Chains A and B, each alone.
Chain A
Amino acid sequence: AQKVTQAQTEISVVEKEDVTLDCVYETRDTTYYLFWYKQPPSGELVFLIRRNSFDEQNEISGRYSWNFQKSTSSFNFTITASQVVDSAVYFCALMEPGANSKLTFGKGITLSVRP
């Protein structure tokens, strides 16, 4: 069975600080996909990134970066120079292959960025 663990529940930082959100996953498959989503107070999920299990390259997109390490089954997300608009709940999710492939979400991390 697949599982996603986001051990941090709430993080509070001051604007311009860097912050890393941790994600650890469990799966028996060799092929799988990992995701990060942002859920602002409005509730709508915002897709941030999808990474397949065969691509361990780190990714950078503006102030966002992701570190995928299969050896530790982790897919961590770093926000550099955080801003108040980054305040939201962030979910890490795992998908195994299959016709009706399902997303398994972690419990989410509430990030508060204070001015």
Chain B
Amino acid sequence: GAVVSQHPSWVICKSGTSVKIECRSLDFQATTMFWYRQFPKQSLMLMATSNEGSKATYEQGVEKDKFLINHASLTLSTLTVTSAHPEDSSFYICSARGIYSSYNEQFFGPGTRLTVL
């Protein structure tokens, strides 16, 4: 149980375009989803926390107008990178906490590798 999927697993886009990444909890309902970014050979950095039905809370330094997060249902959160630029190329990972999970449980998706040309 507790499977989280991400789609797409990888994407290549041109500079200036927008890219949407989906994060789905497949076998549980997720009240909270987290979005992380990981640059090559670096650690995971939390970008934002989203609760179903409410606006996401962004970490300091993360542009909320550039990284649009929508958590419209208990099984789906989306991250849209708007007007992507090469410096946005990164590995984006989501995690989800279930409606019946302890606050200390997060289940991670497999990640989405974004390359902006």
A residues with a Cβ closer than 8 A to B are: 33, 37, 42-45, 47, 50, 52, 91, 95, 97-108, 110
Contact = CB atoms under 8 A, between A and B. Distances in A.
B103 A98 contact: yes
A97 B105 CA distance: 11
Interface of B: 32, 34, 41-46, 49, 51, 57, 91, 93, 95, 103-106, 108-111, 113
A102 B34 contact: yes
Per DSSP, are chain B's interface residues mostly helix, strand or loop, or mixed? strand
Contact of A105 (B41, B44, B105): B44
Q: Is the interface of A mostly helix, strand, loop or mixed?
A: loop
Contacts of B113: 43
A32 B108 CA distance: 20
Nearest to A106: B43
A97 B108 contact: no
Nearest to B6: A44
Given A50-B104, A106-B43, A100 B32 contact: yes
Given A43-B110, A44-B110, A108-B42, 15 more contacts: A33-B104, A44-B109, A45-B44, A45-B108, A45-B111, A91-B44, A97-B103, A98-B103, A100-B49, A100-B51, A100-B57, A103-B34, A103-B44, A103-B46, A105-B43
21 contacts: A37-B108, A42-B110, A43-B91, A43-B110, A43-B111, A44-B110, A45-B93, A45-B108, A47-B108, A91-B44, A97-B103, A102-B34, A102-B46, A103-B34, A103-B44, A103-B46, A103-B95, A104-B46, A105-B44, A108-B42, A108-B43
Contacts of A97: 103-104
Contacts of A37: 108
